[in-house]
Amino acid sequence: MAKPVSIEVWNPNGKYRVVSTKPMPGTRWINLLVEQDCRVEVCTQKKTILSIEDIIALIGDKCDGVIGQLTEEWGDALFSALSRAGGKAFGNMAVGYNNVDVDAATKHGVAVGNTPGVLTETTAELAASLSLAAARRIVEADEFMRAGLYDGWLPNLFVGNLLKGQTVGVIGAGRIGSAYARMMVEGFKMNLIYYDLYQATRLEKFITGYAEFLRANGEQPVKWKRAASMEEVLREADVISLHPVLDKTTYHLINKESLATMKKEAILVNCSRGPVIDEVALVEHLKHNPMFRVGLDVFEDEPYMKPGLADQKNAIIVPHIASASKWTREGMATLAALNVLGKIKGYPIWSDPNRVEPFLKEDASPPAACPSIVNAKALV
């Protein structure tokens, strides 16, 4: 039997009991729940990742809904416990839900919410930041300065890559991939090559229009190309950013063979899902190709890194912070809470989960709808 976990409570006499497995940014999400007669319990246990037993103890005998995190494995045991407690909703504070067994949730009659539409620009910005930091070797140079090693300007000191006029490659040109591509093309006048199963028509139109603008102003126009294969992107691009979904077809998409296809001085960025890259193969590639650089926000066995990765000077590694802007994280918390609240109240599903601005306006009441329920059709 798990020990009781520490909690903080808002509106203790509320009709509906909603549990959050972690404190979340902002207070609007709490206020919205309290306004609708919810008792809100937030776990304050000093533990980065709660165990299944911890979460079952949090759920208890009566619970209408839970807001959880992508670090938690939500499977049959948790959805069974939530269903027994009368719960009808689980809100995942993430756009992805690889940590959720959606079939198990559906079997137990629990709706699974996620938070798309609020992470796009923030995630794309971090991918662009990692691209620039890797190209100009900013982290290496910062460490050099802090170590007191700088004793004067040298012609060859931390020479990196110029981005202007180079080719940026995007694998997966969905919302985030397209936003990243626009930032790199418009910000650094890079050419684009992308690979996606579907044509990114809006992205292509944007770059075509931007090229016309540059030409009209006497500048070299940018170009774009939709590649016929991922290998074409790997061969031709100077900077490659990964934005695919994670499934059986994209597991270890980047491996020993695909790394060997890339240019010796290429830059690889991953803000999508860690297992898209074979991290062992990446470490070996970094060791043997010192001018190859990588920027990683996610890892194959998160929160752990494969042995040797942290020792590579040509790797920039950050702790899964792609969505870590104040606006985005507070928005994610709000959407996760409103998914749970919506199911408790019997609200309909919002028509477009990527158009979430009406839910995020601080000075207005949110629509009476669930922003995004991934198993909505299966529950009907």
The answer to whether the beta carbons of residues 62 and 17 sit under 8 Å apart is yes
- Active-site residue flag, 108: no
Taking CA 267 as the corner, what is the angle to CA 135 and CA 225, rounded to the nearest 5 degrees? 110
- Active-site residue flag, 302: yes
φ/ψ bin of 11: left (φ > 0), alpha (ψ from -120 to 50), beta (otherwise): left
87/310 Cα distance (integer angstroms): 42
Instruction: Outline where 136-248 has alpha helix (H).
Output: 138-146, 175-188, 201-216, 230-236
Tokens of 302: 């998160």
61/45 Cα distance (integer angstroms): 20
Q: Is 13 helix (H, G, I), strand (E, B) or coil?
A: coil
- Active-site residue flag, 273: yes
Tell me the C-alpha to C-alpha distance, in Å, between residue 138 and each of 111, 144, 149: 44, 10, 15
Please identify which of the residues 137, 273, 293, 329 carries the catalytic annotation: 273
Catalytic residues: 273, 302, 320
